[in-house]
Structure 1
Amino acid sequence: MTLSTILNALLLLALIVWLGYRQSTWRPIRSGRMWRMPILLGIAGAVVLAQTVDRITTLDVIALTVEAAISLGVGAAMGRIARIRPIVAQPSVRTEGASLESRTGWWGMALWLIVIVSRVGIDLAAAANGAFVASSTGAILLLLAANRAMRVLVLESRTRRLVGGGSDTAAPTARSMMGS
């Protein structure tokens, strides 16, 4: 096992624990705040990839394309299955500026497992055939950024529909919540 493999495993484990926690807890829906993670992951991934990759093979492109499709599809599914409800607790610093909150729960965690299993399988197959970019830390961060960005896009779209095209801070009616 190389140091890179160990670091990738630790990074993946830390992200799984953190995202698993976030899947199971109600989080305020605030557009600007939701975009922070995908943007930071994307920048970090691009920087790491630019510093560590000398050349990209055709097999790398194929592996990354398949992984990106899976990440985007799962991100869309996560945004779609997220439960949305009005914030019922007293306003706090955590909920400031939001009137809705969401969570994906155990189904969200199951979707993360799909991403992880498919990623490990594709990475092992790609590496066995000489394509190592797909399993790099930079690629992992970029694919996570794509997943999170797609989730935010779908969640924002659903939120706009719930509040009748208004901002994400408008409170939905009980009838509009039934459709989510």
Structure 2
Amino acid sequence: MTLQTLANAALILILVGWIGIRQLTWRPILVGRMWRLPIVFAAIGLFALSGSHGASSVTAVDAALLSLELVVSLGVGAAMGALATIRPLSSGDGAPDAPRFESRTGWVGLALWFVFIGVRVGIDVWAGALGSHLAASTGVIFVMVAANRVARTAVIGLRVSRLATVAPVPAGAR
């Protein structure tokens, strides 16, 4: 095992724990804030990739593996957003920018998160066996988590906007 493989494993464990806890708890939906994490993760990932020695020469294997992983990341993120339970908040301060809904993905979302991580680890091993250094790099982990969160946020944002226009929450019901 290389130092990069150990660093990737540690990073994955931290992300799994942190996002896993977030899957199981009710959280207010602030769509604007939900975009921050994917933007930060994408920036970190792209910065890490720019310093990677394999980033200057992308092979067909790199492109194929990254495309496959991107499709899986976006698909699992969209599924998480679609499966999230959304409910009106029972209390609020009545401010116009206050969250009106909260969500959680629950155990199904956590299971999907493990599917995403399993695919990521599998592609990392596969990339290493095929000699792809770019697809197995740490920066790709951040980019793929960002893609997952982008898809999830987009789906939840769409669902909340539909809920808010179809059935506005009365001020007394908060």
* TM-score > 0.5 by shorter chain: yes
Distance 1:121-1:105 versus aligned 2 partners, 3 A rule: same
Q: State whether structure 2 residue 4 is matched by structure 1 residue 12.
A: no
Q: Structure 2 stretches of 5 or more lacking a match?
A: none
- Does the CA contact (< 8 Å) of 1:63 and 1:123 recur in 2? no
Q: Which runs of 4+ in 1 moved over 6 A?
A: none
RMSD: 1.8
After TM superposition, give the deviation of residue 100 of structure 1 in Å.
0.5
CA distance in 1, matches of 2:150, 2:134: 22
CA offsets 1:7-57 (integer angstroms, 9 cap, x no match): 111111000000000000011110111001000000000000001134221
Q: Which runs of 5+ in 1 are unaligned?
A: 173-180
Q: How many residues align?
A: 166
Contact (CA 8 Å) 2:92, 2:100: kept in 1 or not?
no
Compare 33-42 and 113-122 and name the one that shifted more: 113-122
Out of 98-107 and 129-138, give the one that drifted further.
Answer: 129-138
Q: CA contact under 8 A between 1:26 and 1:101: conserved in structure 2?
A: yes
Query: What corresponds to 2:66 in structure 1?
Result: 64
Residues 72-83 of structure 1 correspond to what in structure 2 (within 5 A)? 72-83=74-85
For normalisation by structure 1, the TM-score amounts to 0.87
Q: Shift in Å at residue 142 of structure 1?
A: 0.3
Compute the TM-score of the two structures, normalised by the length of structure 2: 0.90
Instruction: Give 1:87's aligned amino acid.
Output: L
Q: Secondary structure at the match of 1:85?
A: strand
Q: How does 1:23-102 map to 2 (within 5 A)?
A: 23-52=23-52, 53-89=55-91, 91=93, 97-102=98-103
Q: C-alpha deviations, 1:121-171, integer Å up to 9, x for none?
A: 1221121011121111101100000000010000011111111179xxx52
